[in-house]
């Protein structure tokens, strides 16, 4: 089945130690998104790629970076994780931006990040 | 950003219909209405979307008010597996198709 895969499902890192989360998709979608979801809160968009074009949300901290080397893969890099960065990180894809069914987002299962 | 308002929580009995309301009074003419749900410990999943007309799919129905300022997600027969947080989201359908998640409604289903 076509899907969005996130690895690892659980990641533990130390305060200040860089960490990379990965996402891959078999849907061949143009758009890939990264969301942060803290406990009991709604997902919050960090940034997204339309193909190779990167779009950062205005309030995303500089500590968060992303790379998309090809259509299938997208990475979230946290350069110096703080305790406040502990959260579920969700990757999603969509075919396009054109609204309606084109903007239907397919989510991966998430990576739960713990910062010690 | 156009915003949505949903009740924080709702309860339902198993096998009964559930009507989840959403207010979006600042919706513009080109905004789609999307519903997603998030089961415990999973990523959100798409449920249904609509623009002006009511919509049905295998998961649910979406009833959109004539003035489009509100909508209702209808689960025809709730099951225990439907217990989740349901998000009503406006999709601008423009050059930036971001979904801005609100707080959602936590649906509990009692056996």
CB contact under 8 Å between A105 and B93, yes or no, is: no
CB contact under 8 Å between A103 and B46, yes or no, is: no
**B59 in contact with chain A, both atoms CB, cutoff 8 A:** no
Q: Is the pLDDT of residue B95 over 70?
A: no
CB contact under 8 Å between B93 and A100, yes or no, is: yes
CB contact under 8 Å between B97 and A102, yes or no, is: yes
Give every CB contact of residue A49 below 8 A, 6+ residues apart in sequence. Answer: A31, A32, A55, A66, A68, A74
Q: Is the pLDDT of residue A53 over 90?
A: yes
- Determine the Cα–Cα distance for residues A52 and A50; give it in Å rounded to an integer: 6
Percentage of the residues of chain B whose pLDDT score is greater than 90: 77
Which one of B45, B91, B102 has the shortest CB-CB distance to A103?
B91
Name chain B contacts of A55, Cβ cutoff 8 Å. 96
User: Chain A: nearest CA to B15, how far in angstroms?
Assistant: 27
Q: Is B37 helix (H, G, I), strand (E, B) or coil?
A: strand
Query: Band of the pLDDT at B49, cuts 50, 70, 90?
Result: very high
In this prediction, residues B85-104 reach a mean pLDDT of 79
N-terminal to C-terminal alpha carbon distance within chain A: 36
**B91 in contact with chain A, both atoms CB, cutoff 8 A:** yes
Pull the structure tokens for residue A45: 């968009």
**Tens-place pLDDT, residues A4-40:** 999 999 999 999 999 999 999 999 999 999 999 999 8
- Determine the Cα–Cα distance for residues A51 and B48; give it in Å rounded to an integer: 25
The chain-wide mean pLDDT, for chain A, equals 93
N-terminal to C-terminal alpha carbon distance within chain B: 39
Whether B19 contacts A86, CB under 8 Å? no
**Chain A residues near any Cβ of chain B (below 8 Å):** 4, 31, 33, 41-45, 48, 55, 90, 92, 94, 96-110
In this prediction, residues B60-81 reach a mean pLDDT of 96
């Amino acid at each position: 089945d076509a899907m969005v895969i996130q690895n690892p499902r659980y990641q533990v890192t130390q305060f200040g130690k860089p960490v990379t989360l990965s996402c891959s998709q078999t849907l061949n979608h143009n758009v890939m998104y990264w969301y942060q979801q803290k406990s009991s809160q709604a997902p919050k968009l960090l940034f997204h790629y339309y193909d190779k074009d990167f779009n950062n949300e205005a309030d995303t901290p500089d500590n968060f970076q992303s790379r998309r080397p090809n259509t299938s893969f997208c990475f979230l890099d946290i350069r110096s994780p703080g305790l406040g960065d502990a959260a579920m990180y969700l990757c999603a894809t969509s075919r396009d931006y054109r609204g309606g069914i084109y903007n239907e987002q397919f989510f991966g299962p998430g990576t739960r990040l713990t910062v010690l | 950003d156009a915003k949505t308002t949903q009740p924080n929580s709702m309860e339902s009995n198993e096998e009964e219909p559930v009507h989840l309301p959403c207010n979006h009074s600042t919706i513009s003419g080109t905004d789609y209405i999307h519903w997603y749900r998030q089961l415990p410990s999973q990523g959100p999943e798409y449920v249904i979307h609509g623009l002006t007309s009511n919509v049905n799919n295998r998961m649910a129905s979406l009833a959109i008010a004539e003035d489009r300022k509100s909508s209702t997600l209808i689960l025809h027969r709730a099951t225990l597996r439907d217990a989740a947080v349901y998000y009503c989201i406006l999709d601008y359908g423009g050059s930036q198709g971001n979904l801005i998640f609100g707080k959602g409604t936590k649906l509990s289903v009692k056996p």
